[in-house]
Structure 1
């Protein structure tokens, strides 16, 4: 178990660094996120059935875009893709690529078989030669916090939050959107953004970032 500790610590540090980098970028991209959110909320309002338009206060949600994207990130990332090394390599690779481009983090539950060697072998199947998978982190606390039982699962939270380190304590997670199943990051983010739920605004921000980097 001790042999895998440095690898796990490094991956966790990468995940935290990714969240911090996203926080810095968010301060400079709130206008684009707001524009993207406006488009989705207008479409959602236009397509809503009678009586549904008032379910969410779209105008208020968009008006809060600047405040949400500029506030500091907590310890945990806000866009998380829960994955497993048992996923098909091609599917895992696609998830890592898209989630990383969108500014999120791919979370793994732990070292396979508690072995750093097994981790290295598994990641070698999805990593390019010499590539550092900076958007991948090992953090069982995230799995416990959101009660993740199946992967892949995508989560976008409404605000930042701090993770509880102890096994006998429970993280108070903020309101969030989640989706499980073999879908792309883009599909999950677009669904969240259109849905007007608690993670809609931030999902629109991440989707805008992903679309900027897709040829």
Structure 2
């Protein structure tokens, strides 16, 4: 199995965590999105049609988009499950994971921030304010969802799920961007708990072979 990944991509981070939780061995093939390697014609044509990271290669099967990859891994390698089978539990996990993946991450990823700078000519201060605004708005919702469940050290109970796989990279990115997360105590508690788990530790950006200080 191969993972085309960039060390600081939160979507790649999600997949690395999931692979670790499932105990799946893989080779990392770095794709430097800072210099546009994800837009190279060969990569787009032969690896990931969406011209993004991550991309998973499992035998002859190639797949992009982190949520599709995570669902694929759960279907093909179901232990331990990240997306519960029970209807209500599944819905709650997806509710939180999609809040992060659809509401927070897309408006704060690298290509969005670059567009703000290069095309809309916003100042660094305006860009930072943009980032903080969407983190604050999204994380407030995450915190309310976690307060509603409050059933264990992870987002939903005693074992990590897709919700944790999405939450941890989002918090790591927000901290890297100097966001004040002090209002989100439950989210930070999950993040701190995850920082002791081997799969989450091994997936951290600074532990990747393409890490750039």
TM range (shorter): under 0.3
**TM-score in terms of structure 1 length:** 0.24
Higher RCO (Cα < 8 Å, 6 or more apart): 1
**TM-score in terms of structure 2 length:** 0.24
Which of the two has greater helix per residue?
2
